Amino acid sequence: MKVYVGNLPFNIEDEALKKLFSSYGEIEEAIVIKDKFSGRSKGFGFVTFKNDESAKKAISEMNEKEIEGRKLSVNEAKPVDPDRPRKRFGGGGNQRFGGGQRRRF
């Protein structure tokens, strides 16, 4: 079972995330999601447990637990819904790249 862990301190790495949840059971994978350009943490990650009972215990005990001054948000990871529109942040008003209106003098 895969568990979503949100509101992580930005300095936590994969190994520290794994260690944080290892007392609840055997972990297959622990990964902190990072920005693909800067390499900085996005403040959330996923922990995959070998069995569901371990994951459920981790969720119940770690949700809203404070780590480095931040309350974690821990729940069962939901698969991405392909029909749900994703937020896209695009350009907009930058005239140098064709967005926005041109000014005429």
57-97 per-position pLDDT tens digit: 999 999 999 999 999 999 999 988 777 776 665 555 555 55
Q: Does 57 fall in a domain?
A: yes
Does residue 67 sit within a domain? yes
72 DSSP 8-state letter = -
Report the C-alpha gap between 30 and 74 in whole angstroms.
Answer: 13
What's residue 62's pLDDT?
A: 98
Q: How many domains does the chain have?
A: 1
Cα-based distances in Å from 3 to 10, 22, 66, 70, 84: 18, 13, 17, 18, 21
Q: Is residue 29 part of a domain?
A: yes
Residue 81 falls within a domain, yes or no?
no
Do residues 20 and 67 make contact, with C-beta atoms less than 8 angstroms apart?
Answer: yes
How confident is the model at residue 82, as a pLDDT? 77
CATH code, 25: 3.30.70.330
In a domain, 87, yes or no: no
pLDDT of residue 87: 65
Full residue range of the structural domain in which residue 33 is found = 2-75
Q: Give this prediction's pTM.
A: 0.77
Are 22 and 95 in contact by the 8 Å Cβ rule? The answer is no
pLDDT at 56 over 90: yes
Higher pLDDT, 20 or 89: 20
Q: What region does 66 belong to: left with phi over 0, alpha with psi -120 to 50, or beta?
A: beta
pLDDT at 81: 78
> Considering the domain boundaries, does residue 17 fall inside one?
yes
pLDDT at 99: 52
